[in-house]
Chains A and B, each alone.
Chain A
Amino acid sequence: MKMLKVVLLLTLSLFLSTANAAEKEMKVGFVYVSPIGDAGYSYAHDLGRQAVEAMDGVTTSYVESVPEGPDAERVILNMARKGYDVIFATSFGYMDPMLKVAKQFPKVAFLHCSGFKQSENMGNYFGRMYQARYLSGIVAGKMSKSNIIGYVAAFPIPEVIRGINAFTLGAQSVNPDATVRVVWTKTWYDPATEKEAAKSLLDVGADVIAQHQDSPGPQEAAEEKGVYSIGYNSDMSSFAPKAHLTATVWNWAPYYTKVVEAVRNGTWKAESAWPGLAEGIVDLAPFGPMVPKDVQDAVNTVKAEIISGAKKVFVGPIKDQSGAVKIAEGVAAPDADLLGMTWFVQGVVGTTE
């Protein structure tokens, strides 16, 4: 019996010492809402994770296809229990589960993407994708001949509406006659429905298809019809080599490595971060061969202005669909207004309901 106790103690101490050794290595966990192979949203986050993995003394792991809700809490809790130092949860619906776990583990740094809640040890972050969408709008406005641009969109929430507005403003900045027609699919990822939605836009004369959807369904529709398309999340040109003008893409690596470094140095504080083109978090994918040099130059000029801060996307006068002025002349809309945007700018055809 005594022998057994000794053995037990020995194994326990061995276990503890390995646990200590492991502490020197930083552990960073990621929670994704979809499979990383989706060529889309989670794929983009995972490229960021790989950059973190490449840092010295850091190991990472991830759990993919985690449904929003109770399952998410279990996954995040599990990571926190296993001694992860930093946990990134990358979907809106992880907000409350993460907040709950964050309260139980005050020493762990929690970061939530696309939400609005924070605590002592939980920050939130997202990217100013609307800046990249403005640039892609310029491309669409220049390339459209029918002046009808189709936009397949998931849900009428501020994030998506803001993107559509920025895209439309971009298109109209170079082509005042351009209108953007919106079709809601009410799904983030359903290739069949998204493709059908794109076809319905092609039927009404659209010759450029943009999307705020995670599947390449709309790209396929544009390729088959022989018109142009603009991808989202990551470079989607492999799905539509002849149609794909460019894509608005996420590039999380600089932000993720910065946060992990800050946590390691003890300088990290929970905050609400909203980086954009200037920080390199959002960008355009390489232009397709069909985009003329002058269009590329025009886009790059505006891109440089946005990065330098000389240009802002939402500066008045900006009118809504009814023609009423929503952002007064010369006024730059504050972030709070952008985050709560629920109206379409003039030139968008569609409803926000």
Chain B
Amino acid sequence: MHMADALLAPAVAATMYAASAVTVGASVRTLKKDENMAKLPTMAVTSALVFAGQMINYTIPGTGSSGHLCGGMLLSSLLGPQAGFLSMVVILAIQALFFADGGLLALGANCWNMAFYGCFVGYYLLWRPIMGSKLFQGLGAKGAGRAKIILASVLGCVITLQLGAFSVVLETSLSGITELPFGTFAGIMQPIHLAIGLVEGLITSAVLVFVYEARPELIMDVASAEGESRYSLKTTIVILAVVAAIVGGGLSLFASANPDGLEWSMFGNAESGYSENMGLDEENYGISSGAAEVASSIQDKTAFLPDYAFAGSDSAAGTSVSGLVGSAIVAAVAIAVCMAGGFFRKKKEYANA
């Protein structure tokens, strides 16, 4: 679900960067206020482990495929939402920088899609209410704790992944990258991530239950899960219902029967006239016509072929023919540079040998 740089328009990327940066700032402030620097090494080691742990293949019983761990939910339930968010940000940054998973420009969007939902929405709207609830009281303290962990992590993973996938669709569509209608794109992404979320939630809950059995004090809100409940059953159900209504309502609204109408209103009627955003059309393109004038004057002086060498093509295509020739020249230069570089490196290696 990592967004790539290419899928984002700079304006969208910048917006997402701003949103994530504000969250980072707020998280850092909260953590600093606690003066709990003991958390720093724990955060570092845990995020390094989650990074590596996401590469483990878990076999899904009854199928040939495998699932993976959901980082955001695991980290926020071990470290708390703020520390978990920062850890996820660091994981995503390392993935983008060193493993080309995601991208430098898309980092803001990825932090939002995966870390923000996973940590803040997952923690405040699901983990804490469920852990503090009176659910499963018939199972005894230990059993209720286990059941609550499973419920919270599965629900948390499913819902935060839905939100994340929806954001991916929204960001891509707002960037005007794909020709896929918004509704269709969402219709593909959401069900896929429903399945993924379910599996990830189960794997995450398995890990958390194991930690819970061995060292319960490592898990957030365990005391409230076992001891005095913070919320009554009614409050919990109300919170969960509100979450479900927001998520479900929002998703179905967007993926509703009239996606085209929605898309039309959202993105304007740009698709109807390509020439407007063709980028080949001088009048509407990038900047001033000053450059175009310079271009045509240079053209007048240097061109040795008559107007529109390819008979029968229209003007836009004609412009792009010279553009294509120019592109070919650039490509040739690039290849030549690569080859020259390779040549000199080899020579140097020989010289050194």
Answer whether A and B are interacting partners. Answer: no
B interface residues with partner A (beta carbon < 8 Å): none
